[in-house]
Amino acid sequence: TAKLLHKDASEVIKKLIFLGVMATINQELDIDTILLLAGEFGVEVEVKIPVEEDRFETVEENDTPEELKERPPVVTIMGHVDHGKTTLLDAIRSTNVTGGEAGGITQHIGAYQVEINNKKITFLDTPGHEAFTAMRARGAQVTDMTIIVVAADDGVMPQTVEAINHAKAAGLPIIVAVNKIDKPDANPDKVKQELTEYELVPEEWGGDTIFVNVSAKQRMGMEDLLEMILLVAEVNEYKANPDKRARGTVIEAELDKGRGPVARILVQHGTLKVGDAFVAGNCFGRIRAMVNDKGRRLKEAGPSTPVEITGLTEVPGAGDPFMVFEDERKARNIADKRSITHRQSELNTNTRVTLDDLFQHIKDGEIKDLNVIIKGDVQGSVEALKGSLNKIEVEGVRVKILHSGAGAITESDIILAAASNAIVIGFNVRPDVQAKQTAEQEKVDIRLHRVIYNVIEEIEQAMKGMLDPEY
């Protein structure tokens, strides 16, 4: 170790004693101690994990077309507050209590499945784009499709626009559920009209967005909506290989008084079985029991199935990857290594794009669009800024505006930026306290300006690599 750090052995040992570690010259140090030492000496170390074992997050799905089987689509519901997301989730769920499944006790496990025309659909139970994008910011891609709920008596509202932009930034197909059509002042056509501004144009007006009129409260239109989801699923051909070790994502997890750590996970590839050894985030375990959303115990769970599992040693985080390994020893090994690399990546700074390092990313060919989120004091200045930014093009790189709006920079903006590798521009507005904190944590670049010309100039210079670094 001393040699690697270019230090004297005695110096290293002294430091170790100072850190409370008793060591001899030939002793092998564990990785934690090495990291600590390196920190003390101000040296950067990189923990190399043998390639064979580094499969956790870098797995490529290399299934043959024959191995891939149709799987249920995974759907998220988003929309403005009070437009009926929760009611819709409940309505869809109860629509489905048909013969065979009746009698089951509803379990809230972060997602549920319904069946229509002998096909299943999986719904994530946490409505809203914040939860969705927070998962995405952690690298988890769990959703195939978004339902945007718009109340027909209220129309498009700020969070409707946010939800649309979050879904678009994730590249997901959108179905619009026009809700509350039972209300006397419901005006579904006005909703359609308003949404054309966001490139959601119904088929009858020459577009390709599916609109479904529903009343979540009166449970009207539920079957239409489910059938439309199946239609979109058919077009997109969602598939996975069920015949391999399972991989998926933790949707939620908690410490249960009686059962210890429980995790609700979505299986995305392969089939999960009772007894499987696995890693979830930095935790490992062996599946003791699996329960589905109807409270039924399962022995196996295939792609797109949400299950609640017990048998973990610790509580993982929402959005953590989940993966089965051949045995428990291996799983434990990977979990240990992951907790080290995790800590290390927390120590290491910045993998997100900033204006200062934009040019490097462009030169390296890593970036073709500069993703931007714009917040301004009034809609007029936001529109003006958007117009000017859209005209910038430097060496094939363009500005892509993921989201814009009037008002302070919020945490939701920051999370979207983190999930989409974007920078945030504030025009005569500032981030609120929460946003500022999250931006620091997530290393999101926020640029505050008062003059449109300055914004344009800064972005152009950054694209050309001519920006004076900020100190």
Helix axes 452-464, 379-391, angle to 10 degrees: 30
CA distance 3 to 11: 11
Q: How far is the CB of 165 from ligand GDP (least distance, A)?
A: 17
The amino acid at residue 363 is K
Question: Which residues are part of a known binding site?
Answer: 79-86, 125-129, 179-182
Contact segment (CB under 6 A) with ligand GDP among 138-146, 156-164, 214-222, 272-280 equals 214-222
Region 124-163 residues binding ligand GDP, contact defined as CB under 6 A: 127
Any contact of residue 72 with ligand GDP (CB under 6 A)?
A: no
Q: How would DSSP label each residue in 283-339?
A: EEEEEEEEE-TTS-EESEE-TT-EEEEEEESS---TT-EEEEESSHHHHHHHHHHHH
Q: How far is the CB of 46 from ligand GDP (least distance, A)?
A: 45
Q: How would DSSP label each residue in 363-380?
A: HTT--SEEEEEEEESSHH
Query: Binder to ligand GDP among 25, 43, 59, 81 (CB under 6 A)?
Result: 81
CA distance 273 to 301: 7
| Contact call for residues 305 and 296 (beta carbons, < 8 A) | no
Tokens 């229509």 belong to 116
Q: How far is the CB of 187 from ligand GDP (least distance, A)?
A: 14
Q: How far is the CB of 222 from ligand GDP (least distance, A)?
A: 11
Any contact of residue 217 with ligand GDP (CB under 6 A)?
A: yes
Any contact of residue 180 with ligand GDP (CB under 6 A)?
A: yes
CA atoms within 13 A on the CB side of 83: 28
Q: Is 167 exposed, middle or buried (0-12, 13-18, 19+ CB in 10 A)?
A: buried
- Host H or E run for residue 121: strand 119-124
Any contact of residue 182 with ligand GDP (CB under 6 A)?
A: yes
Any contact of residue 82 with ligand GDP (CB under 6 A)?
A: yes
Measure the CA dihedral 96/223/84/86, to 10°: 20
Can you tell me whether residue 443 is helix, strand or coil? coil
Contact segment (CB under 6 A) with ligand GDP among 19-27, 33-41, 212-220, 432-440 equals 212-220
Q: How far is the CB of 220 from ligand GDP (least distance, A)?
A: 8
Any contact of residue 54 with ligand GDP (CB under 6 A)?
A: no
Query: Binder to ligand GDP among 126, 146, 215, 271 (CB under 6 A)?
Result: 215
Query: Binder to ligand GDP among 12, 23, 37, 85 (CB under 6 A)?
Result: 85
| Contact call for residues 179 and 80 (beta carbons, < 8 A) | no
Q: How far is the CB of 180 from ligand GDP (least distance, A)?
A: 4
Question: Which residues are part of a known binding site for GTP?
Answer: 79-86, 125-129, 179-182
What's the count of helices (H) and strands (E) in the chain, helices before strands? 13, 22
Nearer to ligand GDP, 96 or 371 (CB): 96
Residues binding ligand GDP: number (CB under 6 A): 16
CA distance 92 to 95: 5
Q: How far is the CB of 408 from ligand GDP (least distance, A)?
A: 21
Nearer to ligand GDP, 192 or 247 (CB): 192
Largest CA distance in the chain: 83
CA distance 145 to 134: 16
Nearer to ligand GDP, 219 or 436 (CB): 219
Q: How far is the CB of 352 from ligand GDP (least distance, A)?
A: 31
Query: Binder to ligand GDP among 93, 119, 168, 183 (CB under 6 A)?
Result: 183
Query: Binder to ligand GDP among 2, 29, 86, 428 (CB under 6 A)?
Result: 86
Any contact of residue 84 with ligand GDP (CB under 6 A)?
A: yes
Any contact of residue 179 with ligand GDP (CB under 6 A)?
A: yes
Query: Binder to ligand GDP among 15, 83, 138, 269 (CB under 6 A)?
Result: 83
First to last CA, the chain: 36
CA distance 421 to 351: 9
What residues line the site for ligand GDP (CB under 6 A)? 79, 81-87, 127, 179-180, 182-183, 215-217
